[in-house]
Amino acid sequence: MRVLAALSGGVDSAVAAARAVDAGHEVVGVHMALSRDRGPGREGGRGCCTIEDASDARRSADLLGIPYYVWDLSERFEQTVVADFLSEYAAGRTPNPCVRCNEHIKFATLLDKALALGFDAVATGHYARATTGADGTPALLRARDAAKDQSYVLAVMGPDRLARALFPLGETDSKEEVRAEAARRGLPVSTKPDSVDLCFVADGDTQGFLRTHLGSEPGDVVDADGAVVGRHDGAWAYTVGQRRGLRLGTPSPDGRPRYVLDVQPVTNTVVVGPAELLGVEGLAGSDPVWFEEPAADWRSCSAQLRAHGTPVAARVRATADGIDVAFDAPVRGLAPGQSAVLYDGDRVIAQATVDRTLRVAA
């Protein structure tokens, strides 16, 4: 096959490209330039998309003996991933930009360009497994290394795009194995630190980034009864389940800590209360992506609600405009805007964006 290998400049994508070459594919490397502010480097490997990252990707491609290109996708990234991130926070929701990047950039823009140029598939350094189900449809499974599994952020791609994706690291036992292989191959990125935080927030100050783009808009912090207990500079700075940084001027009557229960952008109000009011027993999800035939009947599954969250027992069913999920036991800290991914064992069943949550009756 003709394979386009996405090279971020890190060790995972470099080893993934090397394995694609070993498998006998005709491989071409491409680095996606996603940031409009491409500084020379970021201390400690923070983020990605720097000039240093592009240079590391080129060196890896040269060592592997494959052609290498840089594609400027920064405008598309800004219009989709960054714009969605800001609009979701402004609407009082909690987005996951990595999910949106996989949806709009890596397995939409990148894959579409690759197919238009005659490539058969795109290979990335994600930790997940792509296989074929018993009925012949593409199936997405968790990586063998559960600690590195990225099926949660990949589920949004759906079965059609999954059929054109290769994840050479999916069967790897650990990240240490990947680094050791990179060192054996002489790849210059074998000891390079992993990227952290949001790739488009270079200094890691997400609150500062939001403040710069959304501005200051002071408002009230109220308790569950509507009494004002504090002030905030912008409701966008708060997420459901948050405990720290609330700046409450009035302590709770019982002295117990309070958490963010709701963010109401229309009234610019943040609602706080005790932990027991955070319990959620179900959710309604929108824009579902199914990896099997949707069914209106409830079926058992496990639900993962954060990129590195612990799956919880649940049931799921298809609805006319999305999905319903019911949890076997209440969960806390779930907010609209998050991604919910449903599994049958290691296999992804479906993915959806949390539209609203069903709170446990107080």
Within 8 A by CB and 6+ apart from 340, the residues are 283, 285, 303, 304, 305, 323, 325, 351, 352, 353, 354
Q: Evaluate whether 322 touches 287 at the Cβ level (below 8 Å).
A: yes
Catalytic residue among 48, 49, 98, 199: 199
Residue 168 to residues 12, 68, 141, 293, Cα–Cα distance (Å): 10, 19, 13, 27
Buried residues in 207-227 as b, exposed as e (16+ CB within 10 A):
eebbeeebeeeebbbbbeeee
Map residue 17 onto helix, strand or coil. Answer: helix
Residue 140 to residues 8, 154, 165, 292, 345, Cα–Cα distance (Å): 22, 8, 10, 11, 11
Q: Evaluate whether 348 touches 155 at the Cβ level (below 8 Å).
A: yes
Catalytic residue among 48, 49, 98, 101: 101
Looking at residue 278, the DSSP 8-state letter turns out to be G
49 is catalytic: no
Kindly report the backbone phi and psi dihedral angles of residue 312, in degrees, each rounded to the nearest multiple of 5, phi listed first.
-125, 150
101 is catalytic: yes
Residues belonging to the active site: 101, 199
